[in-house]
A and B are shown apart, each in its own frame.
Chain A
Amino acid sequence: MANDTWFNEDWLKLQQRYWENLADMSRKAMGLEAPRQNPWEAAMDQWWQAVSPAASDPSKQFMNRLMEQGKAYFATVERFTRGLAGADGSAGWDALNKTLDEMQRGFTDALSSGFGANPFAAGGSTGAAEDAMHRMLGFWEMPLDNWQRMMSSMTPAMPGDLLRNMPHEQVKENFDRMLSAPGLGYTREEQAQYQDLMRRGMDYQRAFQDYMGFFAKLGIKSVERLRDFVQSRASEGKPIDSARDLYDSWVSCCETVYAEDVNTPEYARIHGQLVNAQMALKNRMSVMVDETLGALNMPTRSELRTLQDRMQETRRENKRLRREIDSIRRQIAERPAASPARAAAAEAPAAPKKKAAARKKTAAKAGARAER
């Protein structure tokens, strides 16, 4: 149970000792020596580097996922425990609120910077505490990360984050002016296409920034939800007493806020904008690739599609005819047995009968026309 004794002056020392001991324990668990930095993560990384060559590709990918999520898991816990270090019972709330405020500030900074310098990225951090913060906030990047993975897999020539951090507002005005200049001379059409490509690229980047902005706002709300949640746990006298409980609570807060906000018209608009902008960009690229292929006298995607359409139409017609023939054959087979001569006589007039009727109709129509 929580009591004031855990948050006294000795807590920091205890925790330092704990991290040191943990590092040793982790190394022992893995049977490896790890550098004395963020202990769990470092030990895991070193262990994984040693053993991963033995794993098959699918297993490796899967373990990578487990490792990454494990890091996010403990980064969440580490962030909280570090933030509470040295706090006593009454100061515990201050420390907790400070941690939550810092988290919210991370999202707010992301919003105000327009994601120009991705503040969630761990790459530019300077220490383990910052890494933990980045990783924890980066947890909120999972939906964005999914988008980028998907986009990269669909457009190998254009990595998912190619346009992500491109300065936007700063250059927009000049860029727009430049792009609105008409093309001139022999390459006029080509210039226009490139201008359109760049315009679409900017549209996509704008849509992606709106998308990230939406998630940053959700992040702020999620932290607020977590604040409410821990307060409710305090009121109920049910403290969070394990790393897993804390992590699950954070996931639950994020997921609840997310579910509320993505089922809104605003999100439908932002989401639609993102997908449409990406498709518009890709569409322009495809047209340009097609033109290049055409110039090289190579088959283009557009030509292939025309052929596919025609072929499908022909196949559809063939299948329909085959079914009709099968049906007619069945009908013939089901007819009562008759002498070959009668059967032949019965078969032969069948077609002309239709034609005769058709002729009659045609004649009647012609007659009717003549009467008018």
Chain B
Amino acid sequence: MFPIDIRPDKLGEEMLDYSRKLGHGMENLINAGDIDTGVTPKDAVYHDDKLTLYRYRRPSDVAQQKVPLLVVYALVNRPYMTDIQENRSTVKGLLGTGQDVYLIDWGYPDQADRALTLDDYINGYLDGCVDHIRETHGLDKINILGICQGGSFSLMYTALHPNKVQNLVTMVTPVDFKTPDNMLSNWVQNIDVDLAVDTMGNIPGEILNWTFLSLKPFSLTGQKYVNMVDLLDDPDKVKNFLRMEKWIFDSPDQAGETFRQFIKDYYQNNAFMEGKARVGDRPVDLKQITCPVLNIYAQQDHLVPPASSKALNGMTGSEDYTELAFPGGHIGIYVSGKAQKEVTPAIGNWLNERS
């Protein structure tokens, strides 16, 4: 049998259909207007340089937990991913489980922030946010939820300040940066990070965009847009797509010194696994993390492979360590319908049992 059976009349129909959808979709694109992100009402409660700490307004019909939760997002991309739209919001889901949710927005570093180090981010900015929340609530310890690179930051922070963290949740967090399936890690092994940072100062967001698109270039820069045409008839789907598109390309520049340290120490030298992690002049010993730990990873994660996250098992000093596998990808873990049903409630319940 011959393997290609594309009848001309059917092909004609397909092309016509594609054209028609594009034509009609144009109307929806023109009417899409501004793309709003970050849907849940919130208040800025604390500032430090370009950092803003937000506190989300709690729903009145949900019993409030006493210990607040601080969400620590990555420096890469923007934290509104956690609250990207009404029916796909990790933040909203957490509020629904009674968490009092705070979120760090690191802002957009410019060249004046080039000299910020990991120490400044972790023992400066992050610690400042934690102290602000502790003082506001009159508590010694709070809960932390670290996402992706923010999860790595949270591990460092908790190891350095164990007396300030009640429970730690890490989501799609890289721990072992040299698992064989880690493409990003493979790509940076031969990069002269010192030369890059000395040359560029800050690392432009465009480089990060290019890097992430290069993980699946044909799907992410080609096929995705062909598939998109099927959604153009539906104004809501168009808006959702544009929202994701905005997020994907909304990449802040990376403060040069922090980038230098993070890539060299973690991606090139696997500092957690090698026991060589340091922040400022202090060594980071993950065994100092004795609070309960919930480690969530995505089974189809192409950015942080599951093995990279699962390496945390046994690395901390916690006697209450739980793992949760999500059947999806790095982004789906916040925005998919399944994540809203499975991941967010699981975090809320786990925290509620321990707060």
Q: Residues of A at under 8 Å CB distance from B? A: 1-4, 6-7, 14-15, 17-18, 21-22, 25-26, 29-30, 40, 43-44, 47, 51, 54-56, 58-59, 62-63, 65-70, 72-74, 77, 80-81, 84, 89, 92-93, 96, 139, 142-143, 145-147, 149-150, 153-154, 230-231, 233-234, 237, 239-244, 246-248, 251, 254-255, 258-259, 262-265, 267-269, 271-273, 275-276, 279-280, 282-283, 286, 301, 304-305, 308-309, 311-313, 316, 319
Given known A-B contacts A43-B19, A70-B22, A258-B217, A2 and B201 have beta carbons under 8 A apart? no
Would you call B3 an interface residue if the criterion is a C-beta within 8 Å of the partner chain's C-beta atoms?
yes
Please report the C-alpha to C-alpha distance between residue A153 and residue B251 in the assembled complex, in whole angstroms.
Answer: 13
Contacts of A231 in B (CB 8 A): 3
Determine how close the nearest CB of chain A comes to the CB of B42; give it in whole angstroms: 25
Contacts of B349 in A (CB 8 A): none
Contacts of A51 in B (CB 8 A): 26
Closest Cβ neighbor of A96 among chain B residues: B4
Contact for B22 among A67, A145, A304, CB less than 8 A: A67
Please report the C-alpha to C-alpha distance between residue A73 and residue B23 in the assembled complex, in whole angstroms.
Answer: 17
Please report the C-alpha to C-alpha distance between residue A337 and residue B69 in the assembled complex, in whole angstroms.
Answer: 35
Please report the C-alpha to C-alpha distance between residue A56 and residue B28 in the assembled complex, in whole angstroms.
Answer: 12
Contacts of A63 in B (CB 8 A): 22, 26, 29
B170-224 contacts to A, CB under 8 A, are 180-181, 183, 186-192, 195-196, 198-201, 204, 206-207, 209-210, 213-214, 216-219, 221-223
Given A22-B15, A70-B225, A143-B217, 5 more A-B residue pairs with CB atoms under 8 Å apart are A59-B32, A66-B228, A142-B217, A240-B5, A286-B199
Determine how close the nearest CB of chain A comes to the CB of B125; give it in whole angstroms: 10
Contacts of B213 in A (CB 8 A): 146
Please report the C-alpha to C-alpha distance between residue A311 and residue B8 in the assembled complex, in whole angstroms.
Answer: 69
Q: Does B8 lie within 8 Å of A59, measured CB to CB?
A: no
Please report the C-alpha to C-alpha distance between residue A169 and residue B6 in the assembled complex, in whole angstroms.
Answer: 45
Please report the C-alpha to C-alpha distance between residue A146 and residue B218 in the assembled complex, in whole angstroms.
Answer: 11
Q: Does B11 lie within 8 Å of A142, measured CB to CB?
A: no
Closest Cβ neighbor of B14 among chain A residues: A243
Contacts of B191 in A (CB 8 A): 271-272, 275-276
Determine how close the nearest CB of chain B comes to the CB of A51; give it in whole angstroms: 6
Please report the C-alpha to C-alpha distance between residue A73 and residue B198 in the assembled complex, in whole angstroms.
Answer: 42
Contact for B29 among A18, A55, A145, A271, CB less than 8 A: A55
Q: Does B225 lie within 8 Å of A2, measured CB to CB?
A: no
Contact for B9 among A18, A145, A243, CB less than 8 A: A18
Q: Does A142 lie within 8 Å of B218, measured CB to CB?
A: yes
Determine how close the nearest CB of chain A comes to the CB of B69; give it in whole angstroms: 24
In the complex, per-residue mask of B1-44: 1 if CB is within 8 Å of any chain A CB, else 0: 11111111111101110111011011001101001000000000
Q: Does B201 lie within 8 Å of A29, measured CB to CB?
A: no
Please report the C-alpha to C-alpha distance between residue A259 and residue B180 in the assembled complex, in whole angstroms.
Answer: 13
Contacts of B119 in A (CB 8 A): 316
Q: Does B181 lie within 8 Å of A241, measured CB to CB?
A: no
Closest Cβ neighbor of B221 among chain A residues: A142
Q: Does B218 lie within 8 Å of A263, measured CB to CB?
A: no
Determine how close the nearest CB of chain A comes to the CB of B180; give it in whole angstroms: 8
19 contacting pairs across A/B (C-beta < 8 A) = A6-B5, A25-B12, A29-B20, A58-B242, A59-B29, A66-B229, A69-B225, A81-B8, A96-B3, A145-B221, A146-B210, A230-B4, A234-B1, A240-B3, A242-B10, A247-B226, A259-B216, A268-B190, A279-B196
Q: Does A153 lie within 8 Å of B199, measured CB to CB?
A: no
Determine how close the nearest CB of chain A comes to the CB of B11; give it in whole angstroms: 6
Would you call B319 an interface residue if the criterion is a C-beta within 8 Å of the partner chain's C-beta atoms?
no
Contacts of B190 in A (CB 8 A): 268-269, 271-273, 276
Would you call B283 an interface residue if the criterion is a C-beta within 8 Å of the partner chain's C-beta atoms?
no
Please report the C-alpha to C-alpha distance between residue A198 and residue B15 in the assembled complex, in whole angstroms.
Answer: 49
